[in-house]
Structure 1
């Protein structure tokens, strides 16, 4: 138990590379190989610049306080190379500190470790990343248990734009459909807007017509009142003129008769 604490203190000081091999021996001797690890995918075919994701998961039946995961890469051309060179990273998970990266030998890799899953992401892959990636899982506290995945073979090829003509056609078809949908929606909204403008214009014209009819009606009433007043005046004048000649001539005839009688010579007596 003192050896385990000593190794852990050295790991925390960043000197893991001096004790990786003894630590592996320690796990092989004292830990029981009874963890069932599921690693996916089995094959990973990528092009240069893409990102690869490898996942290892396991089931936990008993409480665990500390879990250590090591990611290793074996060169398919040299499977027997030094075990230390194969180690990419060592991550420690605990109930207190959660996840902690204690060793990293991969500049374009990122890691995530939880209670029942470990994830490795390889960013901007290149031909030097080709190999078999394996996760090794060790339960440290309260009991020692270990297990490892079956490995993921990573293949990296050069990026070729015309390598996937079907995908290009699919993307072109999706772009055409999307553009057509945008045109249809735009036409629908423009048509709806045009109809609304026509409706507003029609309502405005109707309102103007109603207002014009009201003005014309008022003007007609005013004309009728003026016409009635004028007709009354004309009737009065006409009545006056119609009665005026008869009265005038009657008066003149009476005067004439009076004057005649006054101016006639007196009757002389007969001699």
Structure 2
């Protein structure tokens, strides 16, 4: 019995020491932050890349666990999990963390996060009106810039036209005056 327990202890120590050897890279990527209007459907994803046999995925909203699942991924090098909200509400706003833990062969963990901001229809309307004011202000600024550019160019054109007409008038006057003096003289 003593020999059997010693062998089991030695075998478990060997197994534990083999777990400390890294089994390659381990990357978790998650959806970018999103802003949506209440009632929309939102889908955020958490993707894992690496090598493992067993993975646990825990979704947290702020610090509260909302979903927990374990999956065998023996031959997969990448996999994605989705968290879907249909008819999203303002209460669903928050930071969603996807914590991926490789349980076999090496225990390691990584996570990503996505911030979801849900706006009410009133907030969206206010933001749209604010955007319209900004858009109107930009449009007014463009009109002023165009007028400030066109008016001086128009004035220069009119002045040049007037000067040319005047020179042509002077040339005609010189020609007429020359012709009179030739005729009279």
Looking at structure 2, the residues matched to 77 and 207 of structure 1 have their Cα atoms a distance apart, in angstroms, of 82
Look up the match of 2:108: 147
- In structure 2, the gaps of 5 or more residues are 1-14
Cα RMSD, aligned residues only: 5.1
Give 1:181 shift: 1.7
- How high is the TM-score relative to the length of structure 1? 0.38
- Asked if the contact 1:71/1:90 (under 8 Å) is kept, the reply is no
Q: Deviations over 1:28-58 (max 9, x none)?
A: 8952499xx9999xxx9986422435588xx
Q: Is the 8 A contact 2:99 2:109 kept in 1?
A: yes
User: Residues 68-113 of structure 1: CA distance to partner in whole angstroms, max 9, x if unpaired?
Assistant: 383535796897xxx6xx4397785xxxxxxx43x66x5xx4xxxx
Quick one: structure 1 residues 215 and 198, their matched pair in 2 at CA, closer, same or farther if it must change by over 3 Å? same
| TM-score, normalised relative to structure 2 | 0.52
Partner of 2:144: 187
Alignment match of 1:70 (pick from 51, 55, 75): 55
Please state how far the C-alpha of 1:221 moved relative to its aligned partner.
Answer: 1.3
- Return 66-75 or 178-187, whichever deviates more: 66-75
Question: What are the equivalent positions in structure 2 for 1:251-270 lying under 5 Å apart?
Answer: none
Please tell me whether residue 49 in structure 1 is matched to residue 60 in structure 2. no
- SS of the residue 2:107 aligns to: strand
**CA distance in 2: counterparts of 1:224 and 1:77, whole angstroms:** 108
Tell me, yes or no, if the aligned pair for 2:59 and 2:98 is still in contact at 8 Å.
yes
**Aligned positions, number:** 149
Q: Structure 1 stretches of 5 or more lacking a match?
A: 1-26, 57-65, 93-99, 110-121, 229-271
With CA pairs under 8 Å and 6+ residues apart, which has the higher RCO, 1 or 2? 2
Q: Answer yes or no: is the 8 Å Cα contact 1:73–1:88 preserved in 2.
A: no
